[in-house]
């Protein structure tokens, strides 16, 4: 019997704004449905309290500009702490699987945070993954499968160059939906090439399509990667009633997906059909996690929609499965020099828009091309809200001694440089995170 630990924190007194999709009401009907079904009386389930994440735990995943305290609310700390509590249940052997139904979500929050993006401020999953790795050590291999309809660009950003974290995002094609990224060409940095896997699904994808992707693409990739833990960022906005997206997945589809994926830890992401979808999808996911029959979980609206997947959509998905599968199979043969150049650094310049906060960030990142480790990274960032420049130096988990001394020297130099108002050094190996504000 699979034991499932549930961390439920609907934050009934927290919202972005009262009529925002991310509002108090969001998990109300889910709570009502779960309580009315009485599943927490079943021997398979136990409910636990979340805890509040410590500032340091958040900092493992983020560099906040100008500071963490300028942005954070208690609800963010509890959502992230809820994810950590879920991970502890599984790692401590208390439960076989755990599910954190917490809000607000987190997967659009990138390494650098100037404000809220896509309703997210703190990347709950990344905070949780870094907590797990501090416990399990640098060799732990973790797979994150993001099934939110929006591209998990924040999580992708944080793990873009991390060879021990596989990030797979299934989402509605970025050409048709926020945040407008998540294409096949985004495959990871020089130290983790191929370990960012994007599967941009065409609008109109239904159960048939998403399950085909799971079975023929995601599961084989996971089998190949051999993760120690599988984490599911469970957005529920692929649902056919979601007001912000255009997909056709049902509660049955989500439950089957969960059954196939068998995630160790599920963390709620988005999903804004608060009444027609969330109560049923969440119930379906919980039942599937516990290995219980979910075939009776059926949305009231189901019969009013024609949910047959369009033939063109089916063909596009078949093509995607082939292309992404081939990319995965050939990731080791990729011409890294052709992609990242043959110099000492790989440099990216990006403009990042924060839709929720209305901020535009400009960022330059340089990753050290290193043959021993993933290479240290240096990020220079500023935004139209926080105009003064911040510099962050990030050591990889598997940092080699050469990269370490280079990065530390770089940090010293930045710390003395008058160009930067704030400098940060992230050293996950030593679990040491320094921030200096001048």
293 binding another protein? (CB under 8 A): yes
What would the DSSP string read from start to end of 63-77?
EESS-GGGT--HHHH
**Tokens 């130096």 appear where?**
393
13 binding another protein? (CB under 8 A): yes
Cα 93 to Cα 83: distance, rounded to the nearest angstrom = 16
DSSP class of residue 26 equals G
Given a contact cutoff of 8 angstroms between Cβ atoms, the answer to whether 110 and 350 are in contact is: no
Judged by CB, which is closer to another protein: 142, or 297?
Answer: 297
Q: Is 108 a catalytic residue?
A: yes
| Contact pick of 3, 4, 5, 8 for another protein (by CB under 8 A) | 8
Tell me the closest approach of the beta carbon of residue 343 to another protein, in angstroms. Answer: 49
69 binding another protein? (CB under 8 A): no
| Contact pick of 90, 126, 168, 287 for another protein (by CB under 8 A) | 287
178 binding another protein? (CB under 8 A): no
Nearest Cα to 307, choosing from 354, 263, 253, 258? 253
What x/- string results for residues 298 through 327 when contact with another protein is judged by CB under 8 A?
A: xxx---------------------------
Burial of 253 (0-12, 13-18, 19+ CB in 10 A): buried
| Contact pick of 279, 375, 396, 428 for another protein (by CB under 8 A) | 279
2 binding another protein? (CB under 8 A): no
Catalytic residue among 76, 107, 108, 150, which? Answer: 108
334 binding another protein? (CB under 8 A): no
343 binding another protein? (CB under 8 A): no
Nearest Cα to 366, choosing from 391, 332, 389? 391
Tell me the closest approach of the beta carbon of residue 277 to another protein, in angstroms. Answer: 12
Alpha carbon 211 to its chain's center: 20
Q: 3-class DSSP state for residue 284?
A: helix
9 binding another protein? (CB under 8 A): yes
Nearest Cα to 143, choosing from 219, 59, 230? 230
Helix 278-289 to helix 251-261 angle (10° resolution) is: 30
11 binding another protein? (CB under 8 A): yes
| Contact pick of 2, 16, 37, 212 for another protein (by CB under 8 A) | 37
Q: How many helices (H) and strands (E) does the chain have?
A: 12, 16
Q: What does residue 208 show for φ and ψ, rounded to 5 degrees?
A: -55, -45
10 binding another protein? (CB under 8 A): yes
Q: Which chain residues interact with another protein by CB under 8 A?
A: 8-14, 18-19, 23-25, 28-29, 31-33, 35-39, 41-43, 47-50, 52, 74-75, 78, 243, 275, 279-280, 283, 287, 292-293, 295-300
Residues assigned a catalytic role: 108
């Amino acid at each position: 019997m699979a034991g499932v630990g549930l961390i439920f924190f609907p934050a009934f007194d927290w919202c972005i704004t009262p009529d925002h999709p991310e509002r108090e009401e969001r998990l109300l009907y889910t709570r009502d449905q779960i309580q009315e079904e009485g599943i927490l009386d079943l021997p398979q389930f136990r409910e636990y309290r979340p805890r509040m994440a410590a500032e340091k735990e958040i900092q493992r995943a983020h560099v906040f500009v100008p500071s963490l305290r300028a942005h954070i609310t208690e609800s963010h700390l509890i959502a992230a702490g809820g994810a950590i509590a879920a991970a502890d249940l599984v790692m401590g052997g208390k439960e076989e699987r755990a599910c954190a139904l917490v809000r607000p979500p987190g997967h659009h929050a990138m390494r650098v945070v100037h404000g809220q993006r896509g309703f997210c401020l703190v990347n709950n999953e990344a905070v949780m993954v870094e907590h797990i790795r501090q416990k399990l050590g640098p060799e732990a291999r973790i797979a994150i499968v993001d099934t939110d309809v929006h591209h998990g660009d924040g999580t992708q950003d944080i793990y873009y160059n991390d060879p021990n974290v596989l990030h797979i995002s299934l989402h509605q094609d970025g050409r048709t939906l926020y945040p407008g990224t998540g294409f096949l060409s985004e495959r990871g940095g020089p130290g983790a090439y191929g370990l960012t896997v994007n599967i941009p699904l065409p609008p109109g994808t239904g159960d048939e399509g998403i399950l085909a992707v799971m079975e023929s693409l995601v599961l084989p990739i996971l089998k190949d990667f051999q993760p120690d833990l599988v984490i599911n960022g469970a957005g529920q906005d692929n649902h056919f009633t979601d007001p912000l997206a255009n997909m056709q997945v049902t509660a049955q589809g989500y439950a089957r997906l969960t059954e196939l994926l068998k995630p160790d830890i599920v963390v709620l992401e988005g999903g804004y059909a608060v009444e027609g979808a969330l109560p049923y999808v969440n119930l379906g996911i919980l039942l599937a996690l516990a290995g219980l029959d979910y075939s009776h979980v059926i949305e009231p609206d189901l019969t009013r929609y024609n949910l047959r997947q369009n033939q063109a959509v089916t063909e596009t998905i078949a093509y995607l499965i082939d292309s992404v599968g081939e990319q995965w199979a050939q990731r080791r043969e990729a011409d890294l020099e052709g992609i990242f150049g043959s110099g000492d650094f790989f440099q990216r310049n990006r403009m990042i828009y924060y839709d929720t906060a209305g901020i535009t960030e400009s960022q330059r990142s340089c990753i050290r091309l290193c043959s021993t480790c993933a290479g240290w990274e240096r990020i220079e960032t500023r935004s139209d809200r926080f105009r003064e420049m911040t510099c962050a130096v990030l050591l990889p988990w598997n940092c080699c001694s050469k990269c370490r001394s280079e990065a530390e020297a770089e940090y010293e130099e930045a710390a003395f440089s008058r160009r930067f108002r704030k400098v940060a050094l992230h050293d996950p190996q030593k679990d040491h995170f320094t921030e200096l504000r001048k």
